[in-house]
Amino acid sequence: MATLAGMLRRIRSEVGDLPAPFVDTFVGGDELSSYDLSEVNVTSVLAKVTTTTPASTVELEPDTDYVLNAAEGSILLINADYSPLRHGQTLIVRGRSEGLFTDADLEMYVQDAMTQQTYGRTLKTRYRDGHGHIRYELEPIDLETLPPVEEPLVAYLATVNVLWTLATDAATDIDVSTAEGTFVPRSQRYRQLMEHLAELQGRYNTLAQQLNVGIGRIEQFQLRRVSRSTNRLVPIFQPREYDDTGKPERLLPPIDGDAYDDESGVASPLYPGTWG
């Protein structure tokens, strides 16, 4: 059974965006109340202030003693006892960096990948109801019911979406050339990302085609017939197993033809249910 935490670990491993712990130490000088941490996208922060005279250590409370800007990686002391940080006081901040992307960002990519991977698919469960009749229940596929063989595919697809975000950021980089002959090919990062994207997308497409899953899977559709007497589409119903005693389920396939709609506003002398 796939889990969200396990999927996030897979994606971080594919992207190379692994979390890392950090420890920052700031010595007071009666000047500053705001300090930049060594990492961004920080979480699980523990801050404390140590004093030499008298010797003491006080753990700071968030939103009471300090305000943390997790995205930019900065801490602002708001308690009057430590703001600004005085001589003889030392601020120690321990925490963990999530890397370039937060877990909330990666969860969005996982949801998008799951939507694309399971598009048009459901799980059909056969059971017998309280009256002894055989019923079939359709439920959408989620991470808990995702087949284990498709877990890497969802991770690959989410990784592709993550790399597209990185490629969009790298697309604005331009090559730097100076008069002294120094050349910095900053656009090379974009080219390497696009090459890796193509390889990863090809790997996903190959596995998805072999399993016939994802948006590009082969599907079987039903052609709709138009009644000659009423010129209306004949209704079609969901195919059922021979022992399914449930009510027929109506199918409503999309109807193309918006480009030929009559926009004149002239009413047609047609009688619904008779012809036309």
pLDDT of res. 276? 46
pTM for this prediction: 0.71
pLDDT of res. 274? 52
User: Per-10-residue mean pLDDT for the chain, 276 residues long?
Assistant: 88 89 91 90 89 88 91 90 88 90 90 92 84 83 90 94 91 84 86 92 93 88 85 87 83 73 72 52
How far from chain centre, in Å, is Cα 180?
A: 45
